[in-house]
Structure 1
Amino acid sequence: MRKIDELLLEYGHSHQNETNKTIHWICVPAIFFSIVGLVYSIPSEQLSTMLPFSQGFANWATLILILILFYYASLSLPLALGMFFFSALCLALANLIDLMSPIPLWAVSLIIFTLAWVFQFYGHKIEGRKPSFFKDIQFLLIGPAWLMHFIYKKLGLAY
C-alpha cells in the first residue's frame, strides 16, 4: 500500500461521522486559507530583497506553500497538483483581501482560523475521537489532501 493511501486511511478512521465530515469540508479549507492569510501578512520586504528575480511577488506564504507542495508531491503527484491549484486560489484570495478589505488580512485570517478550529473540535466531540494530528502532526497537512482525494474520486481521477 502506498504511503498516501495509508495516511488517508488512518485519517479517515477518526472521520466517520457525517456531521464531522461536513464540518471538515468547510473548516479544513478555511483553516488552510487562514494560515495562508496569516503567513501572507508577515512583512516580506527582506524576502523580496533576497530574491530580486521575484519582482516583488515574493512573500512568506508563497515560499512556505512551495515547501508544502514538495511534501504533497512526495506522497502523490496528482494530489500535489490539486493542492497547487487550491494553494494558488488561497494566495489569490489573500491578495484580494489584502488589497481591498478595510479589515487587515491578518485579522480576517485570525477570525476564520479561530472559528474554524472551534467547529473542528466540536465535530470531533460529536465523532467521539481526537483529531488525528494529536497522534502525528503531519495529519495537519493530510486533512486537505483527504478532502482533495474525495474530489478526485468523484471526478474519476487517480490520486
Structure 2
Amino acid sequence: MFQPLSARLAQLFARYSDDHRHRTNQAIHVVAVPAIAWSVIALLWCLPPLITWFKPGVWSALAMFAAWCWYNRQSRALGYGMLAAFFLAAMLCRLVEQHYGLRVLGQAAVAVFVLGWAAQFIGHRLEGRRPSFLTDLVYLLVGPAWVMAKAYRQMGWRY
C-alpha cells in the first residue's frame, strides 16, 4: 500500500539512531523534539505577513508544507503522520492565538523552544554524543520523522 522508506531516510535514521542509544536521551527526544517542532511552527505563526490580506500563520503554513513535501517524498506513511502532526500543531497555534493573542503565543513558543533545547542538550550530555544536526542540518528534519517512526513502531504500523 505504501512506498518503502527511501534509502536516504533509512540511512539518516540509522545515523540518528546511532547518536541516540541512551534510553533517557531517547525519552527526552520523544518529548522535546515535537515540542521544539511546535515552537518553531508557533514562532513562524507569529511573524507578520508581508501582504496585508494574509492572515497570521502564513509563514508557518508555508514552512509546514515545505517540510511535509520532504517527509512525503521520503515515506508516504510518515508523510501522512507528519501531515496530521502539522495539522494538530497549527490548530494549537490557532487556538492559543484566538484565546490569548499572538503575543502570548510567541512567548509560549520561545519558552517551549528554550526548554526543549535545554532538555535535548541534557540528553546528549547523558549520551556523551553531539546532537546529529551539528554534523548536518537535515537532521533537524530527521528528528521529528524519527519520533513519528518510533510512534508507528509502538502501534505496529509500517512506514
TM-score when normalising by structure 2: 0.90
RMSD: 1.7
Say if 1:42 and 1:121 are closer, same or farther in 2 by CA, change over 3 A.
same
Q: Which stretch shifts more, 96-105 or 27-36?
A: 96-105
Per-residue CA distance 1:91-146 (angstroms, 9 max, x = gap): 00011111112652111100110011011001100000000000110000100100
- Return structure 1 stretches of 4+ with deviation > 2 angstroms: none
Conserved in 2, the CA contact under 8 Å of 1:27 and 1:116? yes
Provide the aligned length of Structure 1 versus Structure 2: 153
Q: Secondary structure at the match of 2:137?
A: coil
The reply on whether 1:22 has 2:38 as its aligned counterpart is: no
Conserved in 1, the CA contact under 8 Å of 2:44 and 2:57? no
Q: CA deviation at 1:38?
A: 0.1
Can you give the 5+ residue segments of structure 1 that lack an aligned partner in the other structure?
Answer: 50-55
Q: Which stretch shifts more, 72-81 or 99-108?
A: 99-108
The reply on whether 1:37 has 2:42 as its aligned counterpart is: yes
Per-residue CA distance 1:7-27 (angstroms, 9 max, x = gap): 111100110101111111110
Query: Match of 1:2?
Result: 7
Can you give the 5+ residue segments of structure 2 that lack an aligned partner in the other structure?
Answer: 1-5
Say if 1:121 and 1:7 are closer, same or farther in 2 by CA, change over 3 A.
same
Query: Match of 2:117?
Result: 117
Query: Match of 2:137?
Result: 137
Q: Which stretch shifts more, 2-11 or 108-117?
A: 2-11
Conserved in 2, the CA contact under 8 Å of 1:35 and 1:113? yes
Q: Secondary structure at the match of 1:129?
A: coil
Identical positions, percent: 32
Match runs of 1:7-156 below 5 Å: 7-44=12-49, 46=51, 48=53, 59-101=58-100, 104-156=104-156
TM-score when normalising by structure 1: 0.90
Per-residue CA distance 1:17-74 (angstroms, 9 max, x = gap): 011111111100000000000000011261745xxxxxx5861101111011011112
